Amino acid sequence: TIISLTKHVKKYIVSVRFMTPIEKSNINIISYNLYHNNASKDLAHLAEEYSVDIFCLQEADSSELPEKIGNLKIAGSTDKNRLDLVIYYNPTKFRLVGTKAFVLERSAHDLIMSPSNQRLLAAKLISKDSDKPLVIASFHGAPLTDINRKRKRQIREAHTVLREFGGDDPTIMTGDYNYPFFKKNLEKVIGLQGYEMALSDKFTYARALPGRYDFVTYSDAIVTDVLTLPKGLSDHRPILIKATDL
């Protein structure tokens, strides 16, 4: 009957209206160049102040860093560099599948200051909320003693090996790109690889050539914001990357 049908429709509308939506999990990532490990003392404060889920560090001394920082646990580090790349992650939020360090095209600095040619560290994580994978990577481009073209090739190579490492998994690479100029051209180049670029709201380096040296490139991931944080003990400012679990 019409009355019976109306009751069923109302019941369906009420049930749909009060269905609990599937909430996406927010991920807070901080990238920080520790300036010869001098800014390692900033990490505990940053982890607590910004509810950090992942640290991507550059110019670290892994032998002097703790196994844990607050709720974060070390995932891995480079092992052939004078100064290391290090990744920390939140084990209550992620399960660590594995890490791998990559040797990229060597710069003049690498040849002179060897060993320092592992310029990329990647970790594959699985979200405990969604059971979905995420590849996170810490990158450190060649210093300004090399031409921009060298860093562009390193970035492209990094994206290529990350694709080999993680397949089509969502990927976020962040770090000190040492890339102060011609970012529009870089954005076009990495776009051909299926990557996007996000810059922070303020300069991350304010010495001789100020600019946004620290930023993020990503593929099949959702980055909602990138913020430059207050200056600490490093010559770089840390950046906070806000991402969303797919």
- Convert the pLDDT of each residue in 111-138 to its tens digit: 565 556 799 999 999 999 999 999 999 9
Whether residue 5 is predicted with pLDDT greater than 50 in this model: the reply is no
For residue 143, the model assigns a pLDDT of 86
Q: Are 194 and 238 in contact (CB under 8 A)?
A: no
Q: Are 161 and 174 in contact (CB under 8 A)?
A: no
For residue 110, the model assigns a pLDDT of 60
Q: Which uninterrupted H or E stretch holds 161?
A: helix 148-166
- Convert the pLDDT of each residue in 53-102 to its tens digit: 999 999 999 999 999 999 999 999 998 888 999 999 999 999 999 999 99
**Strands of the sheet with 118-127, listed across from one edge:** 94-103, 118-127, 133-140, 171-176, 214-219, 196-198
Q: Are 156 and 177 in contact (CB under 8 A)?
A: no
Q: How large is the C-alpha radius of gyration of the chain?
A: 21
Q: How many CA atoms lie within 13 A of 87 on its CB side?
A: 31
Whether residue 31 is predicted with pLDDT greater than 70 in this model: the reply is yes
Q: Quickly count helices (H) and strands (E) in the chain.
A: 5, 13
